[in-house]
Amino acid sequence: MPSVQRYDSVPIRDYHFDDQTGFLYVYRVPIAGAMVQKYVKSDGSEEMEAKLPEEILSDSTVSSANSKPVTDGHHGLVTKDNSHDLMKGFTASNGHVEGNMLYNDITITDPNLISQIKNGSKRELSIGFETQMDPTSGTYNGTKYDAVQRNIRINHVAVVPKGRAGHEVRLIGDSAEAVDQVEPSEEKGNQMETRVVRADGQNITVAADDVEKITKLDADNSAKAKQIADLDAQIKKLKAEKAQLQGNADEANKKADSAQAKADSLETDNEKLKDQINHLKGDAFDERLNLIDKVKSFVGDSDYDYHGKTDRDLKIDAVKAIKGDSIDFEDKSDAYVQAAFDMLEKPKQVSGYAGPDPETKGDSQDVDLMALRDASYGY
């Protein structure tokens, strides 16, 4: 089952201040409950996901709500490496279940965040958690769902602006009514999600985080293609008007000249738009996909995560997949990395005369490249 991140929200109810420290306390916060929620994903699709009682109210999930960081907004998973910057408070250790709801207390220590809560600019608590998606459908309390959130592990509690679109749970007594929950495209789960999108007339598989960028690019291309089609139609119409006007008197000739000027102007705009589309498509996107495919042929396709890596990182990963750590890339130039990557397609052993030595420029980098070549050919 794929592991993903989710964010659910509840409004901050009554809070209190410690007279000595000035810390803000919120007691008995309803963190989550057994329910079915609609999540609108980054690709625009919707999925009804169930928090079944045996999952959200399990001992492991309740325990995961204890002693966790409180943050100012969501910034991905909170760990020891980023807690110094992100942690603005903490949850208590009294996570417990009442009915179909999970409760806990929170303490907020950061003065800026406390001020935002007091002035009303931030008045909701949004739970950030990891869960594994089980694509099992069913019905809970009369509501159909498409998948079940299993192995729910709460990572942090974020304070977010009041009424933030897509992250609100309105409390009615001791229960919660869920509205659309948006899965932010900038957050990643433990396992990369992919989507199939149609771009430039063909289906391609991309990382879920890149869907918005790809679809926007394709939408821009489609919009400009429509503009070109409209301009072509206008040009055709104007040329027809010109042909009709050419048989008339001087006034008709003037109109024909005007129509020709418009047609020329439209043709110029047409060419500009075509250039813009070619620029939008460019070679960068295709080159990136080709590089990823090539690297996958060396590192394997099943578990390799290329998202967020530079071209240099991808090439180094490919070399290490074949040669291990025998080559040190620290402080090496991009040319050195490119040479090591290119040599992966060459035979590892060369018998007989291998041709004249390449010309060198005499600097330390050339020595490195020559050593890399010798190692690759087995000298």
Residue 104: inside a domain, yes or no? yes
- Assess whether 249 and 347 both reside in one domain: no
- Assess whether 236 and 372 both reside in one domain: no
Condensed to tens digits (0 to 9), the pLDDT of residues 319-361 reads: 998 888 888 898 899 999 999 999 886 444 444 544 455 554 4
Q: What are phi and psi of 65, to 5 degrees?
A: -85, -10
Q: How large is the average pLDDT for residues 199-208?
A: 60
Asked if the model's pLDDT at residue 90 lies above 90, the reply is yes
Distances (CA, A) of 264 to 219, 233, 240, 250, 268: 27, 13, 14, 21, 6
- Assess whether 102 and 123 both reside in one domain: yes
Looking at the DSSP bridge assignments, the partners of residue 169 are 178
Residue 192: inside a domain, yes or no? no
- Assess whether 106 and 15 both reside in one domain: yes
Domain with 342 in it: 285-377
Asked if the model's pLDDT at residue 158 lies above 80, the reply is yes
Residue 312: inside a domain, yes or no? yes
Geometric angle at alpha carbon 290, from 286 and 293, rounded to 5°: 140
- Assess whether 306 and 212 both reside in one domain: no
Q: How large is the average pLDDT for residues 53-71?
A: 95
- Assess whether 290 and 324 both reside in one domain: yes
Residue 293: inside a domain, yes or no? yes
Determine the pLDDT at residue 360.
45
The domain total for the chain is: 3
- Assess whether 34 and 85 both reside in one domain: yes
- Assess whether 19 and 113 both reside in one domain: yes
- Assess whether 130 and 70 both reside in one domain: yes
- Assess whether 218 and 317 both reside in one domain: no
And the tokens for 47?
């999925």
Q: Per mean pLDDT, which of 6-15, 248-257, 335-344 is the most reliable?
A: 335-344
Last residue within a domain, chosen from 137, 155, 182: 182
Residue 162: inside a domain, yes or no? yes
Last residue within a domain, chosen from 275, 294, 328: 275
Asked if the model's pLDDT at residue 124 lies above 60, the reply is yes
Residue 236: inside a domain, yes or no? yes
- Assess whether 33 and 135 both reside in one domain: yes
Last residue within a domain, chosen from 216, 243, 275: 275
- Assess whether 235 and 312 both reside in one domain: no
